[in-house]
Amino acid sequence: MKAKQRHPLIVGAFVLTATGIVTRIIGFLYRIYLSRLFGEEGMGIYQLLSPVLSLSFSLTAAGYQTAISKLVAERTATSRKPSLQPLVLGLSTSLPLSLACNAVLFFFADAISAGLLQEPRTASMLRILSFSVPLSAVHSCINGYFYGIKKAGIPAGAQLLEQIVRVGCVYIVSSRILAAGG
């Protein structure tokens, strides 16, 4: 008797959905942790970082996943063998951009916090969270490549790893805020 063959679309959807649920639960729990730790004012200060980080992610990671996935899918359809060229091209473009963005956020955190965010207390948080920008760019390229060859396990793992690192960065931020006494 022949074993039932799994449909890759259903398995991939299940893996990605399960990973999405786990990362949402992790995010939910760390927000509870932060709200208890920082209080209302601290959470407001932390939320001030969102526009700056969103802009940096938009500049360095947005669109790469879709472009790489499309290129890999087209090449796989014609040659049956996936090429690493789209992944390398995506990483060689997005990684230098994200590292430059990371450097700008890290070294000019005081100026960005005081001038743009109008809250100098966000500088230390911005420095720490700036390291999540390159990770997001790499995650976007990896996801695009493996979605293109219809493998969901690796993007799911990358998504989970990115969320864990992001929560780790938030934990470091919170530890620094507590150590600074505010």
Is 113 within 8 Å of 126 (Cβ atoms)? yes
Residue bearing tokens 């938009």: 58
In the chain, domain spans: 8-180
Over pLDDT 90: what percentage of the chain? 16
Residue 13 confidence (pLDDT) above 90: no
Rounded alpha-carbon distances, angstroms, from residue 176 to 39, 122, 125, 159, 170: 15, 12, 9, 26, 10
- Write down the pTM of the prediction: 0.71
The closest alpha carbon to 131, from 56, 39, 26, 72, belongs to 56
Mean pLDDT, the chain, integer: 81
Of the pLDDT bands very low, low, confident and very high (cuts 50, 70, 90), residue 1 is very low
